[in-house]
Chain A
Amino acid sequence: AQTVTQSQPEMSVQEAETVTLSCTYDTSESDYYLFWYKQPPSRQMILVIRQEAYKQQNATENRFSVNFQKAAKSFSLKISDSQLGDAAMYFCAYIPNSGYALNFGKGTSLLVTP
């Protein structure tokens, strides 16, 4: 079975600082994709960033970047220059290339303080 673990139920960061959210996953597949989704209070899930396992280069999207460690099965999200609007639940998700649906972690609640 493939599982996604987010070990930090809650995290807090000050505005303009950097925070890293952790995610580990378990799989026997070699070809897969990893995602981070953001869920603000409005509830809508928004894709933040995507990583393809066969790519060694870590994905980046503006202030968001990942540290993908394939051997360690680790996929952390770094948010730089945190903004109040970054406050949300963040979900890590996994899917094998042959799969059809995302497998989500339980989420990390990020609080951003002024």
Chain B
Amino acid sequence: DAGVIQSPRHEVTEMGQEVTLRCKPISGHDYLFWYRQTMMRGLELLIYFNNNVPIDDSGMPEDRFSAKMPNASFSTLKIQPSEPRDSAVYFCASSLKPGPGELFFGEGSRLTVL
């Protein structure tokens, strides 16, 4: 299996621009998670999906952030408009089951907003 695939690996954009991060989970995994990693706050859960349905988005920082999962093999995290404080590494992860099941991470998308 190819693992969790994220794109782009790096993104540099200017403040105010729209950013879209993409994720392809491992086939058969029903749970998909978006995490954000920063030096100050570490790894924070933004949102998670079960069977393509968003279950908990309480970690999404504000209305500028939105996430979708139109089908079992694709999810997006969108930031519009982007701000410098959004600069971080964004991870997508998937698992067969929630909770103590093993979580498989992608390689992350490093976002820099100038």
Q: How close is B14's CB to chain A, nearest CB, in angstroms? A: 24
Q: Is the CB of B99 within 8 A of A97?
A: yes
Given A95-B99, A100-B99, A101-B33, decide whether A44 and B108 contact each other with a Cβ distance below 8 A: yes
B70-114 residues with Cβ-Cβ distance < 8 A to A are 89, 91, 93, 98-100, 102-103, 105-108, 110
- Main secondary structure, interface of B, reads strand
B12 at the A interface (CB under 8 A): no
Chain A residues whose C-beta falls within 8 Å of the C-beta of B55 in the assembled complex: 100
Most chain B CB neighbours (cut-off 10 Å) among A44, A50, A107: A44
Q: Is the CB of A45 within 8 A of B33?
A: no
Q: Which of B43, B102, B106, B107 contacts A91 (CB under 8 A)?
A: B43
Interface bin, chain B:
20 to 34
User: What is the interface size of chain A, counting residues whose CB is below 8 A from a CB of the partner?
Assistant: 23
Q: Is the CB of B48 within 8 A of A44?
A: no
A-B contact count (CB 8 A): 51
The chain B residue sitting closest to A99, CB to CB, is B99
Q: Is the CB of B106 within 8 A of A44?
A: yes
Chain B residues whose C-beta falls within 8 Å of the C-beta of A107 in the assembled complex: 42
Q: Is the CB of A42 within 8 A of B99?
A: no
Most chain A CB neighbours (cut-off 10 Å) among B31, B98, B110: B98
A88-114 residues with Cβ-Cβ distance < 8 A to B are 91, 95-107
Q: How close is B106's CB to chain A, nearest CB, in angstroms? A: 7
B56 at the A interface (CB under 8 A): yes
A47 at the B interface (CB under 8 A): yes
Distance, CA A100 to CA B53, complexed state (A):
14
Q: Is the CB of B100 within 8 A of A42?
A: no
The residues of A with any CB-CB pair to B shorter than 8 Å are 33, 42-47, 50, 52, 91, 95-107
The residues of B with any CB-CB pair to A shorter than 8 Å are 31, 33, 41-43, 45, 48, 55-56, 89, 91, 93, 98-100, 102-103, 105-108, 110
Given A99-B98, A101-B98, A104-B42, 16 more A-B residue pairs with CB atoms under 8 Å apart are: A43-B89, A44-B105, A45-B91, A46-B105, A47-B102, A91-B42, A91-B43, A95-B99, A96-B99, A97-B100, A100-B55, A100-B56, A100-B99, A101-B33, A104-B43, A106-B41
